[in-house]
Amino acid sequence: MAQTIWQKLSLVVRGNIHEALNKAIDLNSPAAVAQNIRDLETYIERMEEALTKTEGDRNDLRRQLHFLQTQLEKNTGYARAILEDNNPSNDHLAKQLVQKNVQLKPRAAGLEKQIAEMTEVTAALTDTISKLNSKREILVTRLDELQTMDYTTSAKAGAANALRDAEKFLGEDSIDNLQGRAHRRASEADAALKYQLQKSSSLHDQAADAILVTEVDDEFARLQAEAQQNKLLRGGRS
């Protein structure tokens, strides 16, 4: 049996999806993955155009079929009415209507077959587009991963080069040496401050002791003077 145009199209669709979905590519090559994404997008665009065209043609055939089916029903109704009018003289008109229906039925059957084939093609196109989109999403994710890896590798290489350049300028004063020197200077400053604080505290204590001695001497002298005066007063009264 010869294949119709829609059956051939269905085979082409299946062939395209097999080729697109099973194409071997290097998943570690950003360029190869990006090219495959572009190829898939081209396939998807073509499939979507074919789907739109097929659905439009199928809708047109459905309208034609509906018209024929309506005509067949009307002819059958008219023929039945003529045969039931109890007037045999016009039965030949009923026969003409039946004859017309017999001629129209093959056309209706042909339309039904074409619509069924186009429905199959539509389903195949829809399924193909879905699978191609799924693979495209997977490859887009993979491309993002590869690009991120490239960016990370470049950043690490740049950091390594910067550190090597810094070592050239610093010479023996590496980062560790500079940090060690800073710590030593901080420790020396802390020790000097502690010594000055202790020295200041000692001077303060000595000054406080001298003030205390002076206060004691002054108070003792005052008491001596009071005692002497009291003696003189008591001697005068006696």
178 to each of 161, 166, 191, how far by Cα in Å? 20, 13, 20
Q: What is the mean pLDDT of residues 198-218?
A: 61
Considering the domain architecture, whether residues 227 and 188 belong to the same structural domain is answered as yes
Range in 64-73, 119-128, 170-179 with the lowest mean pLDDT = 170-179
Q: What is the mean pLDDT of the chain?
A: 77
Q: State mean pLDDT over 61-84.
A: 94
Q: Is residue 227 part of a domain?
A: yes
Q: What is the mean pLDDT of residues 191-216?
A: 61
135 and 218, same structural domain? no
Q: With contact defined as beta carbons under 8 Å apart, do 122 and 58 qualify?
A: yes
> Greater confidence, 129 or 11?
129
Residues 39, 17: Cα–Cα separation, whole Å = 12
CA–CA dist 43, 129 (Å, integer): 8
Distances in whole angstroms, Cα of residue 231 to Cα of each of 217, 221, 227? 21, 16, 6
- Torsional sign, CA 52, 54, 60, 62: negative
pLDDT of residue 2: 44
Is there a domain that residue 177 lies in?
no
Q: What is the pLDDT of residue 112?
A: 95
- pLDDT value of position 225: 77
Number of domains in the chain: 2
100 and 213 co-located in one domain: no
Does 104 have pLDDT greater than 90? yes
75 and 32 housed in the same domain: yes
Q: Give the pair of three-digit tokens for residue 140.
A: 């887009």
pLDDT band for 158, please (50, 70, 90 cuts): low
For residue 63, being part of any structural domain is answered with yes
pLDDT at 120 over 80: yes
In this structure, the answer to whether residues 154 and 204 fall within a common structural domain is: no
Is the same domain home to 113 and 197?
no
Q: What is the pLDDT of residue 231?
A: 73
Q: Which domain holds residue 238?
A: 182-238
- How distant, in Å, are the alpha carbons of 36, 183, 189 from that of 192? 72, 14, 5
Any domain includes 75: yes
